[in-house]
């Protein structure tokens, strides 16, 4: 039996051509309908999704990463830095809105997407990456915990999904920057 090799790629998007934007909107709705959407619980109109992604590209503190399977956009994640006036938290950032469409899972793209986002964050001097996830998103929880994220808290009324209150989990991961002082030397011990 022949093994099929898929092309996996993750890139930071500075713009989206119409084809990639359409594919990203389709992937987003597929993830939402499967229960893995990032805040949305019902499929969204193409116009709403296009506004969301175009808007994400305009925010200076936000970077959009897209995941490709065999050249087609099938997922994304965003790296969000604190605003410039928040010097106290300038060492940290948030990984948010991460998903891979259900039809593209099982190839390691989610792991690659998170790792590329972490590499970018570390290259920018980010020392701590934060994220949060609904307790019902078991696949995402398994992924993040498998990648070394530490759960530090639970919010019992994190979200409302289909009329039910859902708890959420909060995570962080300490990153090592590629140059300069170690994170422990820069921040002190993190417990």
Report the CATH number at residue 19.
3.40.630.30
Q: Are 99 and 28 in contact (CB under 8 A)?
A: yes
In a domain, 94, yes or no: yes
Give the CB-side neighbour count of residue 157, counting CA atoms within 13 A: 0
Phi then psi for 75, rounded to 5 degrees?
180, 175
In a domain, 1, yes or no: no
Question: Is the backbone of residue 180 left (phi > 0), alpha (psi -120 to 50) or beta?
Answer: left
pLDDT at position 162: 87
In a domain, 170, yes or no: yes
Secondary structure letter of residue 136 according to DSSP: T
Sheet holding 150-161, edge to edge: 8-13, 62-69, 72-80, 92-100, 128-134, 164-174, 150-161
Q: How far apart are CA 97 and CA 95, in angstroms?
A: 7
Q: Tell me which residues of the chain have a pLDDT lower than 50.
A: none
Predicted model pTM: 0.91
Domain that holds residue 70: 8-187
In a domain, 106, yes or no: yes
Q: What's the total number of domains in the chain? A: 1
In a domain, 3, yes or no: no
pLDDT at position 153: 97
In a domain, 70, yes or no: yes
In a domain, 2, yes or no: no
pLDDT at position 2: 72
Please compute Rg for the chain using Cα positions.
Answer: 17
In a domain, 174, yes or no: yes
pLDDT at position 17: 97
């Amino acid at each position: 039996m022949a093994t099929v090799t898929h092309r996996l790629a993750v890139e930071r998007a500075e713009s989206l051509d119409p084809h990639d934007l359409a594919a990203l909107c389709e992937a987003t709705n597929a993830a939402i309908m499967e229960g893995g959407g990032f805040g949305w619980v019902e499929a969204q109109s193409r116009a709403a999704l296009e506004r969301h992604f175009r808007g994400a590209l305009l925010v200076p503190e936000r970077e959009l990463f897209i995941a490709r399977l065999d050249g087609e956009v099938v997922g994304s994640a965003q790296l969000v830095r604190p605003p410039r006036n928040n010097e106290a938290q300038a060492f940290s950032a948030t990984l948010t809105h991460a998903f891979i469409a259900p039809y593209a899972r099982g190839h390691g793209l989610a792991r690659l997407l998170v790792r590329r986002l972490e590499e970018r964050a570390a290259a920018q001097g980010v020392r701590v990456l934060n994220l949060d996830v609904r307790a019902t998103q078991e696949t995402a929880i398994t992924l993040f915990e498998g990648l070394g994220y530490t759960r530090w808290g639970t919010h019992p009324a994190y979200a409302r999904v289909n009329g039910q209150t859902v708890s959420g989990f909060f995570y962080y991961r300490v990153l090592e920057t590629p140059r300069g002082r170690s994170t422990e030397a820069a921040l002190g011990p993190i417990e």
